[in-house]
């Protein structure tokens, strides 16, 4: 934090939340307090600045929506019992 009056307020620091089945590419940057949805895919080198909804593919700098994750790649369809 770049604060003129350090230690005068309480800050709550929170890292990103990555839900089940999400895939994160190499060297991707996810800003604090963001959520990566269920079965979502973040491309390599992407810079995520927004919340990523469930089952979407995001790529680029800044990360942008590319397309939906195909149904056969959903976590519930990848698990073999």
What is the DSSP-derived secondary structure letter of residue 73? G
pLDDT given at position 78: 79
The answer to whether residues 59 and 69 touch, using CB atoms and an 8 Å cutoff, is: no
Q: How many CA atoms lie within 13 A of 79 on its CB side?
A: 7
Q: What domains appear along the chain, each with residue ranges and CATH number?
A: 17-78 (2.160.10.10)
Amino acid 14: pLDDT: 86
Residue 76 has what pLDDT? 86
Tell me the whole-structure pTM to 2 decimals: 0.81
pLDDT for 11 equals 65
* Residues with pLDDT less than 70, the chain: 1-11, 81
DSSP 1: -
Strands 64-68 and 41-42: unpaired
**CB contact at 8 A, 40 and 58:** yes
pLDDT of 25 reads: 97
Tokens of 65: 């929506």
């Amino acid at each position: 934090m770049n604060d003129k009056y350090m230690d005068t307020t309480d800050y709550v620091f929170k890292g990103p939340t990555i839900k089940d089945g999400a895939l994160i590419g190499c060297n991707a940057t996810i800003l604090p307090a963001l959520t990566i949805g269920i079965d979502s895919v973040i491309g390599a080198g992407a810079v995520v600045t927004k919340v990523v909804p469930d089952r979407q593919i995001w790529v680029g700098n800044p990360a942008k929506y590319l397309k939906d994750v195909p149904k056969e790649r959903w976590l519930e369809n990848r698990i073999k019992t």
